[in-house]
Amino acid sequence: MSDVTRSMRFFYHYLKRYKISFLIITIGIIIGTYFQVKAPIFMGKAITALAKYVFGLMHGVDDKGNFVHFIWLLVIYFILGAVGTFISTIVVTYVTGNATNRMRRGLFAKLQRMTIRFFDSHQDGDVLSRFTSDLDNISNALNQALAQIMTNAAMMVGILIVMFQQNVKMAWVTIASAPVAILLAAFLIRQTRKYTDIQQDAVGSLNGYVNEQISGQKIIITNGLQQDSIDGFLPHNKEVKDATTTAQTYSGMLFPLMQGMSLVNTAIVIFFGSWLALNSGMGRAAALGLVVVFVQYSQQFYQPITQVSTLYSMFQLAVTGARRLNQMFDEPEETQPEQGLTIPDKLTGAALKDVRFSYNEGREILHGVSIDVEPGHMVALVGPTGSGKTTVMNLLNRFYDVDSGAVTIDDTDVRELGLKQLRDHVGIVLQDSVLFSGTIGFNIKYGRPEASDDEMIAAAKQANIHDFIMTLDDGYDTKVTDENAIFSTGQKQLISIARTILTNPSLLILDEATSNVDTVTESRIQKAMDTVVQGRTSFVIAHRLKTILNADKIVVLKDGNVIEQGTHQELLAAHGFYSELYHNQFVFE
Ligand SMILES: Nc1ncnc2c1ncn2[C@@H]1O[C@H](COP(=O)(O)OP(=O)(O)OP(=O)(O)O)[C@@H](O)[C@H]1O
């Protein structure tokens, strides 16, 4: 299916519910067009009456005939034409506002159903530009182009009918050059479409780059890489500029070319029309009227071709926008069984059974990993960077699905559980804790907004962050965006731990919760962790081995394989990889 067909389906999907509005728009357009195409007839009649009057005066006869009458009719027809167009424009604005609102809502809701694979493999800026630039383009096109395209199509049909009713030969003369104009327009339109597509994709990657550079600003400054950052920006910017210039050049050629064709056509109509009128035995006044009417028609007939050409670049941006939104809507969503199984409140354990997994086909990351956790036990995952620790965590929470083998919670394959069930039972504290805009209280209650303030405070106390929050002027009501309340990485992590405690998950995943913080905060986090893992089955990924000495089991991963497992003492006694890692780390600390 072509992009245009798919885009049309997209628009149909969002516009089909406005049938009554479209009926009103169509009626408005028909009324507007009818009066606009009929008006020139009265213009012709008024000119004929005027010419007769002038020729009469030359012969001493003072007869204005129906001149004034036709002028009045002309004015009334123009006013009624304008009213019809006005009504359709107002209704189009209403439809557009509502339809784009629904698109934005639909897109945002879709985003919430997307898989982590999508977020891992797409730049934030590119996703964002679909919400901004692509949706804006669609909204502009619907607002401005929709009514115009309908009006122009109606106008074209109306003018054709009226022209052939008035004079068949003159009608053929008037439309004779149209095929050439349409072929030229079609060529330019194709070129415009090609480059508009390239332009919008380039805008997406430019946004992605800018977004990435803003997030990494500190690293750029620290390494003095500002110039490199600019150098990296320039090719993206050039790509946008080149595609935009080419697209605009082609679409910019449309309007002058069509106007030129329209002028040439008017000249043909005047020349040929005069010749025809003079050689058909028609009276001078009637001939003059006929030529004036067809000059009007010739301009009116070309107007839709010219206008549609001008609107085309706008329309094209909308088609490209629809293509890019369609891409998002086509992205696979998180899947779950129709009748998801449930897990009992008290966990019996979790396990990975001979799990093989690859993010991308052909590059296996986990090569048959098996890990078993007893209920209420704490398992620590250790291993060199890139060994697959975070990947194991991703599979436990079903951010990704295994290629073979199984991840089970309470002996049930996670793929058979309802997603809500699963996520309700699993709590995660990530390495980079995220705070949402709002108050600290709002952030702690994020996973359980219905929790009472007492529960919130109890969770904060368990997470060792209550005392710090109380030092802030507004306590739990402190806004996260307040510049007096800028949180350190460790503090953010403690808030995140409090948030997790409040949701009371039975399976807990803590990802490197103690890296990147000072020793005081580290010991606070350590205490918070000790509290939070109590009575829960937990997986802890920690780089600092001293934080996991008490783990019930330590699993050592290397290159996607489990190479050792056991308690700290057992692994030390084995004098293997763990023991080496442990001793090396203490040399560094
Ligand atoms: N989203 C992804 N897409 C493709 N490959 C990925 C993705 N995430 C991780 N990988 C690859 O999977 C392998 C394991 O990564 P993982 O993040 O699980 O390691 P880790 O042990 O947690 O490392 P670290 O200690 O540095 O956090 C690495 O080779 C990494 O390049």
Q: What pLDDT score does 437 carry? A: 80
Q: What pLDDT score does 588 carry? A: 46
Q: What pLDDT score does 559 carry? A: 92
- The first and second tokens of residue 280, run together, are 């058909």
Report the side by side order of strands in the sheet with 350-358: 364-373, 350-358, 404-409, 412-413
Query: What are the backbone angles phi and psi of residue 95, rounded to the nearest 5°?
Result: -60, -45
Question: Do both 303 and 354 map to the same domain?
Answer: no
Cα–Cα dist 589/587, whole Å: 6
For residue 292, give the CATH number of its domain: 1.20.1560.10
Give, using CA atoms, the residue closest to atom 13 of ligand 1.
Answer: 386
Which of 280, 297, 330 is the last residue before a domain boundary?
330
In a domain, 138, yes or no: yes
Rg of the chain over all Cα atoms, to the nearest angstrom: 36
Of the candidates 129, 150, 201, the residue with the CA atom closest to the CA atom of residue 31:
150
Atom of ligand 1 minimally distant from the CA of 392: 18
Cα–Cα dist 124/410, whole Å: 36
Dist. CA 539 → ligand 1 center (Å)? 17
In a domain, 336, yes or no: no
Give, using CA atoms, the residue closest to atom 9 of ligand 1.
Answer: 391
For residue 580, give the CATH number of its domain: 3.40.50.300
Q: What pLDDT score does 528 carry? A: 78
Report the side by side order of strands in the sheet with 537-541: 426-429, 507-511, 537-541, 378-382, 553-558, 561-566
Atom of ligand 1 minimally distant from the CA of 543: 25
In a domain, 342, yes or no: no
Give, using CA atoms, the residue closest to atom 17 of ligand 1.
Answer: 390
Dist. CA 548 → ligand 1 center (Å)? 21
Query: What are the backbone angles phi and psi of residue 61, rounded to the nearest 5°?
Result: -105, 130
Atom of ligand 1 minimally distant from the CA of 391: 18
Dist. CA 510 → ligand 1 center (Å)? 16
Give, using CA atoms, the residue closest to atom 26 of ligand 1.
Answer: 385
Cα–Cα dist 77/296, whole Å: 15
Dist. CA 391 → ligand 1 center (Å)? 6
Q: Mean pLDDT, consecutive 10-residue segments, the chain of 589 residues? A: 79 91 91 86 84 80 78 89 89 90 91 88 84 88 80 85 86 86 84 85 86 83 84 92 90 82 86 78 76 83 75 80 89 79 72 93 92 90 89 90 92 86 84 82 89 91 88 86 68 86 87 64 77 84 78 92 92 89 66
CA distances (Å), origin 18, targets 24, 90, 94, 221: 10, 14, 10, 52
Dist. CA 392 → ligand 1 center (Å)? 10
Question: Do both 321 and 354 map to the same domain?
Answer: no
Write down the number of H helices and E strands in the chain.
Answer: 21, 10
Give, using CA atoms, the residue closest to atom 25 of ligand 1.
Answer: 385
In a domain, 338, yes or no: no
Dist. CA 236 → ligand 1 center (Å)? 28
Question: Do both 227 and 281 map to the same domain?
Answer: yes
Atom of ligand 1 minimally distant from the CA of 394: 18
Name the CA dihedral angle for 286, 287, 288, 289, rounded to a multiple of 10 degrees: 50
Give, using CA atoms, the residue closest to atom 16 of ligand 1.
Answer: 388
- The first and second tokens of residue 266, run together, are 């008017």
Name the residue range of residue 389's domain: 350-588
Question: Do both 359 and 262 map to the same domain?
Answer: no
- The tens digit of pLDDT for each residue in 232-253 reads 999 999 999 999 999 888 888 8
Atom of ligand 1 minimally distant from the CA of 383: 21
Q: What pLDDT score does 369 carry? A: 94
CA atoms within 13 Å, Cβ hemisphere of 273: 30
Question: Do both 242 and 320 map to the same domain?
Answer: yes
Which of 286, 302, 330 is the last residue before a domain boundary?
330
Give, using CA atoms, the residue closest to atom 18 of ligand 1.
Answer: 388
Dist. CA 530 → ligand 1 center (Å)? 27
Dist. CA 390 → ligand 1 center (Å)? 7
Q: Which of 369, 389, 512, 555 best tests ligand 1's pocket when mutated (most atoms within 8 Å of CB)? A: 389
Cα–Cα dist 191/185, whole Å: 10
Question: Do both 241 and 374 map to the same domain?
Answer: no
Q: Which of 391, 543, 559 best tests ligand 1's pocket when mutated (most atoms within 8 Å of CB)? A: 391
Q: Which residues contact 91 (CB under 8 A, 6 or more apart)?
A: 21, 24, 25, 28
Question: Do both 387 and 247 map to the same domain?
Answer: no
Give, using CA atoms, the residue closest to atom 31 of ligand 1.
Answer: 386
Atom of ligand 1 minimally distant from the CA of 360: 4
In a domain, 340, yes or no: no
End-to-end alpha carbon distance in the chain? 61
In a domain, 345, yes or no: no
Q: Is 223 helix (H, G, I), strand (E, B) or coil?
A: coil
Dist. CA 528 → ligand 1 center (Å)? 27
Question: Do both 255 and 357 map to the same domain?
Answer: no
Residue 380's DSSP bridge partners are 540, 554
Show the ligand 1 pocket: residues with CB < 6 angstroms: 120, 359-360, 365, 383, 385-391
Residue identified by tokens 């109590």 is: 534
Dist. CA 479 → ligand 1 center (Å)? 34
Question: Do both 541 and 397 map to the same domain?
Answer: yes
In a domain, 344, yes or no: no
Question: Do both 302 and 371 map to the same domain?
Answer: no
Q: Which of 385, 400, 539, 585 best tests ligand 1's pocket when mutated (most atoms within 8 Å of CB)? A: 385
Q: Cα 307 to the chain's mean position, in Å?
A: 29
Question: Do both 504 and 394 map to the same domain?
Answer: yes
Dist. CA 386 → ligand 1 center (Å)? 5
Cα–Cα dist 448/480, whole Å: 18
Helix H or strand E encompassing 351 = strand 350-358
Quick one: DSSP state of residue 417? Answer: B
Dist. CA 136 → ligand 1 center (Å)? 37
Dist. CA 394 → ligand 1 center (Å)? 10
- ipTM score assigned to the predicted complex: 0.95
Query: What are the backbone angles phi and psi of residue 5, rounded to the nearest 5°?
Result: -60, -45
Query: What are the backbone angles phi and psi of residue 523, rounded to the nearest 5°?
Result: -70, -30
Atom of ligand 1 minimally distant from the CA of 116: 1
Give, using CA atoms, the residue closest to atom 2 of ligand 1.
Answer: 359
Which of 330, 365, 382 is the last residue before a domain boundary?
330
Q: Which of 357, 361, 365, 399 best tests ligand 1's pocket when mutated (most atoms within 8 Å of CB)? A: 365
Of the candidates 324, 121, 125, the residue with the CA atom closest to the CA atom of residue 207:
125
Residue identified by tokens 């106390």 is: 461
Dist. CA 385 → ligand 1 center (Å)? 8
Dist. CA 365 → ligand 1 center (Å)? 8
Counted domains in the chain: 2
Residue identified by tokens 């606070």 is: 524
Q: Which of 357, 387, 516 best tests ligand 1's pocket when mutated (most atoms within 8 Å of CB)? A: 387
Dist. CA 361 → ligand 1 center (Å)? 15
Dist. CA 363 → ligand 1 center (Å)? 12
Q: Which residues contact 502 (CB under 8 A, 6 or more apart)?
A: 444, 445, 447, 448, 451, 455, 456, 459
Cα–Cα dist 325/86, whole Å: 31
Cα–Cα dist 359/298, whole Å: 62
- The tens digit of pLDDT for each residue in 83-117 reads 988 898 899 889 988 998 999 999 999 988 888 88
Question: Do both 388 and 291 map to the same domain?
Answer: no
In a domain, 335, yes or no: no
Give, using CA atoms, the residue closest to atom 10 of ligand 1.
Answer: 359
Q: What pLDDT score does 347 carry? A: 66
